[in-house]
Structure 1
Amino acid sequence: MEPTDQCATTPTTVSHLLDFLRRYARERIDSRRMDERRAFPVSFIPDLAAEGLFGLQIPTSHSGLGLSHTDALRVMTQLGAIDANLLILTAVHNTLGVPPIEGFAQPAVRDAVLPEVARGRRLVTSAISEPGMGSHVRAISTRAVKQADGSYLVNGGKQWISLGADAAYVNVFARLVDEHGQDAGITGFMVDTTTPGFLGGPEVLTLGLKVVPQNSLTFEDLRVPAESLLGEEGQGLVAAKTAFTKGRVTLAAGALGAMMRSLELALRFTQRREVATGNLAENGRIHQLLADSVAATQAVEALVRHIAARLDSGEEVAEPLFFVAKILGCELAFDVVDRCVQLLGARGYVDTNVVAQHFRDYRLFRIFEGSTEAITVYLGTTLLSAPGRFTALMDQFDAATQVHDLADRVGKLATVAPTSAQQQHVLANVVGELACWSVLAALTSEAAGRSTVHPHTAAWCERQLRERLRSAEDGVPFVDLPTVDEVADHITGYQELIGDIDQRRPGEQNEMDALLRC
């Protein structure tokens, strides 16, 4: 694998940050203890803030570090290798919270808020997801009603908001109703969380990522001043998309760190472990698993670097590339982590051995910023509706002829005629997934001569594309299924076998007694 410590535009700043994070990880971080306590140490945020980690790409004129995309994503990879909670804390603030303010807040608001969040004195996040919708932003039901004095009255609720109850500012996206009662579109507001009517809900007890709170939020006649608008009325989707887009490649960059760390630990174990066949690392099957995991890791690294380099050069990055980063970056990361759990044997199932916690923490990445299934279907649907987009995307790469030939075959799947809405979804998923693998195969093909490992990575990606394409062309994904009702009836019938086992034992009382409240 080629060196991963090469820094783009600010080597001194980034080298300092990486050195700090590695030293801090060794001397100050106890991931196991944080996980058990569901909390960061008291000194954690001030320590990170002192190094500028809450203002990675905020301009120096607003007290940030002003890092390039390449450098910022390199930092995210380092954070991901250390602890997923550390990664998500900084990623949510820097990529979901800051960009809507930096790009869409009014100048006076931006100038006042950015220095505060860059120094880590205030945390910021975005609130998009709701109980009735996840990544389907257009289904937002939270309402903002414009008042005669130009302010807005917000009512509704959000769910699964990282840092939602701890942030000083939350970018809230709501459906605006104008003074005439007409729907004026999704609109964004930067909300000060001390405003009356902003209610932080309880923390969700998640399987992993236990340290970063995921809260529900409620807005009860929350009055927001006109100067808190993010962009124009009805243009909130633009600001929301900015946050989502940046978040997707950031997740891939952080997941890349987990892949590298997990493989590092798996290699140590297999090289030191003797089994019946001899040294475990020399076992042919184990060697194959490690080599293929390295290929997956190098492919994700190539994709993250490609996107970062294009952003830094000022080139437009095609939207599908961000979806590819989210889909395959997070899926392959979990595959590699899961494989490393297996390679470590019983030790992989021991929580104190790092990889097990990676397994719990990084599982959520397949859901964050839109679940894999949802956004793969969305990506495939957009490509099916405009096949030329896929052709234009692949034309950007100087890949081997056979890779472009495979991509041409992917494009021909758009001619398949689904027989039902369900089959349309299946086709969109197939095309979306194949588009992702086409991009990885093309990228790694371009780099096949860069090191002794790169040819294997290129061949591995091409093989993944070829095998999935062959399956799709053979019609395997389009087999006849039982109807939706038949599946539901069958599952409902399980109750006859396992009975009613909903647990109803009273839990802990966490609220103040009603007779003692104000």
Structure 2
Amino acid sequence: MTDYLSTGQLPEDYRDLKNTVADFAQTVVAPVAAEHDANHTFPYEVVAGMADLGLFGLPFPEEYGGQGGDYFALCLALEELGKVDQSVAITLEAGVSLGAMPIYRFGTEEQKQKWLPQLAAGRALGAFGLTEPGAGSDAGGTKTTAKLDGDQWIINGSKQFITNSGTDITEIVTVTAVTGERDGKKEISTIVVPTDTPGFVAEPAYNKVGWNASDTHPLSFTDVRVPAENLLGERGRGYANFLRILDEGRIAIAALSTGAAQGCVDESVKYAKEREAFGRPIGRNQAIAFKIARMEARAHAARAAYYDAAALMLAGKPFKKQAAIAKLVASEAAMDNARDATQIHGGYGFMNEYAVARHYRDSKILEIGEGTTEVQLMLVARELGL
């Protein structure tokens, strides 16, 4: 990635992947995006296509059913998908980063062998249940509990805004829960809950502003019993481990956001060349041309930021600050570009069948999910010693 920043040329394997996903996005995803958005339906046929391409297994070793690639490969795929349909892109991002990655990072060998092959193949989806009505970034607000009863955990509580949690192919949800107390503070652990466990309920899906083809539910747990060996990672390290997952996930969300920002540029350039007003294409008007130029600059800066964070991550170097910067810059670029693209399209930009209208509705959550803009600013400030 550092080579790309200086030369503008990706290595061949990354370039081939990017081109393959770009073709899939344009020929398979884009034609059905408006329909799934309008009907609020989960795009099972698109997800199956992504599974066939091996996208869900990109960053995982072949021994667990993965493609033997890396996290940057996943990010490239997310950028291309994000250009045309953020709902599809977040389905992949959450399925890999939040669903499968915790199993890979913190699971026992038995847990990896049990769950990763299905998740990496895209035949099943996983989800991560962190957020609650009064808890998300504030771990101290966690109220879901898990009590050890012999060789079983008994889980009670609720979660909200959980992506990929209620599809027909959702197999597991990893949840954070209070498992005791340490030094006067809540001990928070993570436990894997198969979705067919009695007492687990994915409540009716949310009616959202955007990401309408993405699956999002509140969850409830009523005396849910799972084996003690479903504890993921060390007891009491659940929240700390998930913070690491979030650091990685911010790079992935930045890649998705970059795709959204670039998609708005691409749509605006096309429209500005075709749309005529007062006898000439509107792109020949400096006001429009300059607006699109600024949009391109935002997308370029966002891409450079997530490439840089990914390079540090893969090199095994500290990347927390760079991941937060990438997520901050890219999510704001997506929202700003969506607003400008809608303005450029005029009345057409307000029609839902147009991609820029979907980006306008979809992009706001990029400034909220997996750490709000304010959280990113807080993280950067802390890294600066403030």
TM-score by length of 1: 0.69
Q: 1:195-215 CA distances to partner (integer Å, 9 max, x unpaired)?
A: 122111111100111111211
SS of structure 1 residue aligned to 2:55: coil
1:282 alignment counterpart: 284
Partner residue in 1 for 2:10: 6
Distance 1:113 1:75 in 2: 23
What is the aligned partner in structure 2 of residue 325 from structure 1? Answer: 326
Residue in 2 that maps onto 1:157: 158
Give 1:310 shift.
2.1
The CA deviation string for residues 211-263 of structure 1, in whole angstroms up to 9 with x for no partner, is 11211111111122121111111011232113211221111101111111211
The SS at the match of 1:335 is: helix
Q: In structure 1, what is the Cα distance between the partners aligned to 2:8 and 2:88?
A: 20
Give the number of equivalent residue pairs.
380
Given residue 114 of structure 1, which amino acid in structure 2 is its aligned partner?
A: L
Aligned ranges for residues 312-461 of structure 1 at < 5 Å? Answer: 312=314, 314-377=315-378, 379-380=380-381, 382-383=382-383, 386-387=385-386
Partner of 2:177: 174
Counterpart in the other structure of 1:56:
58
Asked if the contact 1:252–1:325 (Cα under 8 Å) also holds between the matched residues in 2, the reply is yes
**CA deviation profile, 1:113-166 (whole Å, cap 9, x unmatched):** 11111112211010000011233234211111122x243211111011011223
Contact 2:42 2:215 (8 Å CA) reproduced = no
Aligned to 1:304: 306
Counting only pairs closer than 5 Å after superposition, residues 78-97 of structure 1 correspond to structure 2 as: 78-97=80-99
Q: Distance in 2 between matches of 1:127 and 1:226?
A: 18
User: What residue in structure 2 maps to residue 226 of structure 1?
Assistant: 228
In structure 1, the gaps of 5 or more residues are 388-518
- What code does the residue aligned with 1:321 have? Q
- Asked whether the equivalents of residues 8 and 70 of structure 1 are also in contact (C-alpha less than 8 Å), the reply is no
Residue deviations 1:385-412 (CA, integer Å, cap 9, x gap) = x24xxxxxxxxxxxxxxxxxxxxxxxxx
**2:146–2:179 CA contact under 8 A, matched in 1:** yes
SS in 2 for 1:351: coil
Identify the residue that residue 503 of structure 1 maps to in structure 2. none
- Asked if the contact 2:305–2:329 (Cα under 8 Å) also holds between the matched residues in 1, the reply is no
Going from structure 1 to structure 2, the CA distance change for 1:8 and 1:275 (only over 3 Å counts) comes to same
Partner residue of 1:23?
27
- Structure 2: 5+ residue runs without aligned partners? none
Partners of 1:23 and 1:233 lie apart in 2 by: 46
Q: Is this contact kept in 1: 2:164–2:214, CA < 8 A?
A: yes
Q: Given that residues 306 and 323 in structure 2 are in contact (C-alpha distance below 8 angstroms), is that contact kept between their aligned partners in structure 1?
A: no
* Per-residue deviation, residues 240-290 of structure 1 (Å, max 9, x unmatched): 113211221111101111111211121122223343495422322222212
CA distance in structure 2 between the partners assigned to 1:354 and 1:10 by the alignment:
26
Q: 1: CA distance between counterparts of 2:325 and 2:211?
A: 23
**What residue identity is the alignment partner of 1:370?**
G
User: Aligned-pair distance for 1:99?
Assistant: 1.3
Q: 1:10 to 1:269 in 2, by over 3 A?
A: closer
| CA distance in 1: counterparts of 2:362 and 2:349, whole angstroms | 14
How far apart are 1:13 and its partner, in Å? 5.1
TM-score, structure 2 as length reference: 0.91
Contact preservation (8 Å) 1:40, 1:211: yes
**1:9 Cα offset (Å):** 5.0
Where 1:144 maps in the other structure, the secondary structure is: strand
SS at match of 2:166: coil
What is the SS of the residue equivalent to 2:123?
Answer: coil
Over the aligned positions, Cα root-mean-square deviation in angstroms equals 2.5
Instruction: State how far apart, in whole Å, the 1-side matches of 2:91 and 2:229 are.
Output: 27
Q: 1:442: which partner in 2?
A: none
Q: Give me the whole-angstrom Cα distance separating, in 2, the residues matched to 1:118 and 1:194.
A: 20
From 234, 240, 243, the counterpart of 1:241: 243
Measure the CA separation in 2 of the matches of 1:268 and 1:69. 32
- In structure 1, the residue matched to 2:131 is 129
- In the TM superposition, residue 14 of structure 1 has moved relative to its aligned partner by 5.2
Work out the CA distance in 2 between the residues paired with 1:255 and 1:181.
Answer: 40
Task: Give me the whole-angstrom Cα distance separating, in 2, the residues matched to 1:110 and 1:193.
Answer: 17
Identical amino acids, percent of aligned pairs: 27
Task: Say if 1:252 and 1:304, in contact at 8 Å, map to a contact too.
Answer: yes
Structure-2 change in CA distance of 1:212 and 1:25 (3 Å): closer
CA contact (8 A) 2:189 2:235 kept: yes
Matches within 5 A, 1:177-196: 177=180, 185-196=187-198
- The secondary structure found in structure 1 opposite 2:221 is strand
Structure 1 residue 15: Cα displacement = 4.4
Q: 1:214 aligns with which of 186, 211, 216?
A: 216
Structure exhibiting the larger radius of gyration computed from Cα positions: 1
1:252 to 244, 247, 254: 254
Deviation at 1:17, TM superposition (A): 4.0
Say which SS state the counterpart of residue 344 (structure 1) adopts.
helix
Letter in 1 for 2:173: V
Equivalent residue letter for 2:234: E
Answer 1 or 2: higher relative contact order, Cα 8 Å, separation at least 6: 2
Q: Which has the higher strand share?
A: 2
Quick one: distance in 2 between partners of 1:21 and 1:277? Answer: 34
Amino acid at match of 1:174: A
Summarize the Cα distance change of 1:210–1:226 in structure 2 as closer, same or farther, 3 Å threshold.
Answer: same
Amino acid at match of 1:249: I
Give the Cα separation in 1 of the matches to 2:184 and 2:294: 55
- Partner of residue 198 from structure 1, selected from 178, 197, 200: 200
Q: What SS does the corresponding residue of 2:203 show, helix, strand or coil?
A: strand
8 Å contact kept, 1:9–1:68? no
Q: What does the per-residue CA deviation read over 1:62-113, in whole Å, with 9 as the maximum and x for residues that have no partner?
A: 1111222322211110010121111011010011111110011111111121
Instruction: Provide the C-alpha distance between the structure 2 equivalents of 1:372 and 1:153, rounded to a whole number of angstroms.
Output: 35
In structure 2, the residue matched to 1:40 is: 42
Alpha-carbon distance between aligned partners in 2 of 1:268 and 1:19, rounded to the nearest angstrom: 18
Do the aligned residues in 1 keep the contact of 2:128 with 2:162 (CA within 8 Å)?
yes
